[in-house]
Each structure stands twice: as C-alpha cells, then as structure tokens.
C-alpha cells in the first residue's frame, strides 16, 4: 500500500486522514486509496445526514469545479472532443480577472454542471469525472489531507493555464485582463497524461511532505 486513508473522528462525525507509505506514491495511488475507503467504510455526510453514501445526491455538482490538465485530457477523450481548445470552449468556463485565470467545469443556467444528467441527476462522465469530483466528500478531514487535495488541484490547474496560454485562448469572461505568461512556469504535471505519472512528492511542499510521509503511522481506532 503506497497511500492509506485512515479513520478519524471529529467529535460526533467520522472523517478521514491520509498518510503516504512509500516515497514513490503517485496521485493515482492517492485516488485509489480514497476510492477504496469511501466505498468500504462508513463516513459522515454532513450535507446529507440521513444517509451514509452519495447515491442519488447531486449537491456537489452545483459548486465550482476547477480542472487540472489531466482532467481535460481524460474528458476530451470521453466526450470525443478533438482538441484542448475545443474542449475548453464547449465544456468549461474560462474566467480571466486581471492576472488570474480560472478554468472550471461549465455550469448551466440552473447552476448545475454541464455533465449532470438532468433527468437522473447522475454524472454522465462518471468514469472520467475530474479530480475534484473524485476527491470531494462532505465529511471532515485532517488539515494534511485537505492540503494534499488542494495542492494537487492548484498545480494541475496551473499546468492547464500554462497549456491554455500556448493555444488559441478561449475566454468566456474577462475583467481587466493582464495575464503574464511568465507567471506560469512548468509544474510537475508538465508532459503528464495520467495521474499515475505524477509523484505526490513533486506536487507538495517539503513541509507538507514531512507531514504526509509516515511509513509507520497507525490510526488510533478502526473504521466503524
């Protein structure tokens, strides 16, 4: 096991912690560990206290969903969109505010994601859904677990912006745009097509790595 998701109680609610067991662990190892934990164990859904799973719930699908470069490549294949600019144009929202670029999944007028099936309220691209969708659960988590997720999202979105700067630039909304390409240097996602090619160690700060890399760490209790 290269990454482990562990139980953690937060008062009356059940949340989780993340530790890295092996130095070579990748973002895909982290995704696999989360996926295993969330399908195996009971976690508190704070936005849906009546149930202990996500089945049939679409509440997350009305929230801002930033994209990584790998999300866009995977979704381009799933949607049979031929180029990155075409994908960004059709399925995302590119907002430029001064020097800042934010690329998120497009939401329709009802506020929900473009990929949400309006009839079934399920995700049309579930196997190819973005990193933020795969990793969000409305339960508590430790600060290192949240920081790891945030670092991956930020670096992956920065790489997407770097690629966007090299293409014809789709822009859906701009306010005083003054983007400087020199602000976007290469990230650990550069040239990577899959999450199993991105080592976690390259994505996080040294301080966060010290908090995450715990080969011998044991949780104080087992999952309920």
Q: Is 129 in the site for ligand SF4 (CB under 6 A)?
A: yes
User: What is the number of residues in the chain?
Assistant: 224
Q: How far is the CB of 179 from ligand SF4 (least distance, A)?
A: 26
d(CA 172, CA 168): 13
For the CA atoms of 189, 187, 66, 168, what is the dihedral angle to 10 degrees? Answer: -90
Residue 52 binds ligand SF4, judged by CB under 6 A: no
Which residue in the set 20, 25, 43, 65 belongs to the binding site for ligand SF4 (CB under 6 A)? 65
Total of residues contacting ligand SF4 (CB under 6 A)? 21
Min CB(119)–ligand SF4 separation in Å: 13
- 216 C-beta neighbours (distance < 10 Å), count: 6
E-state strands within 120-204: 173-175
> What gap in Å lies between CA 165 and CA 24, rounded to an integer?
31
Residue 202 beta carbon to ligand SF4: minimum distance, rounded to whole angstroms = 26
137 or 209: CB nearest ligand SF4: 137
Interaction of residue 125 with ligand SF4, rule CB under 6 A:
yes
Burial class (CB in 10 A: 0-12, 13-18, 19+), 49: exposed
CA Rg value for the chain: 18
Q: Which is nearer to ligand SF4, 130 or 188 (CB)?
A: 130
Rounded to a whole number of angstroms, the minimum distance from the CB of residue 169 to ligand SF4 is 23
Instruction: Answer yes or no whether residue 67 interacts with ligand SF4 by CB under 6 A.
Output: no
Q: Does 59 bind ligand SF4 (CB under 6 A)?
A: yes
């Amino acid at each position: 096991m290269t990454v482990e998701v562990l139980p953690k109680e937060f008062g009356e609610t059940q949340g989780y912690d993340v530790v890295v067991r092996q130095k070579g662990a990748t973002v895909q190892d982290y995704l696999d560990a989360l996926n295993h934990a969330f399908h195996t164990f009971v976690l508190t859904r704070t936005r849906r206290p009546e149930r202990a799973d996500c089945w049939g719930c679409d509440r997350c699908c009305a929230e801002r969903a930033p994209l990584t470069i790998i999300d866009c490549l995977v979704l381009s294949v799933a949607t049979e969109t031929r180029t990155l600019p075409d994908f960004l144009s059709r399925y995302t929202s590119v907002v430029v505010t001064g020097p800042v670029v934010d690329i998120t999944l497009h939401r329709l007028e009802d506020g929900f994601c473009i990929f949400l099936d309006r009839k079934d309220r399920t995700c049309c691209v579930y196997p190819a859904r973005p990193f933020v969708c795969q990793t969000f659960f409305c339960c508590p988590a430790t600060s290192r677990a949240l920081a790891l997720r945030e670092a991956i999202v930020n670096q992956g979105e920065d790489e997407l912006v770097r690629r966007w700067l090299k293409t014809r630039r789709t822009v859906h909304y701009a306010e005083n745009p003054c983007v400087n390409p020199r602000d976007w240097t290469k990230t650990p996602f550069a040239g990577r097509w899959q999450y199993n090619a991105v080592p976690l160690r390259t994505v996080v700060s040294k301080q966060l790595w010290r908090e995450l890399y715990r080969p011998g760490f044991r949780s104080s209790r087992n999952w309920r």
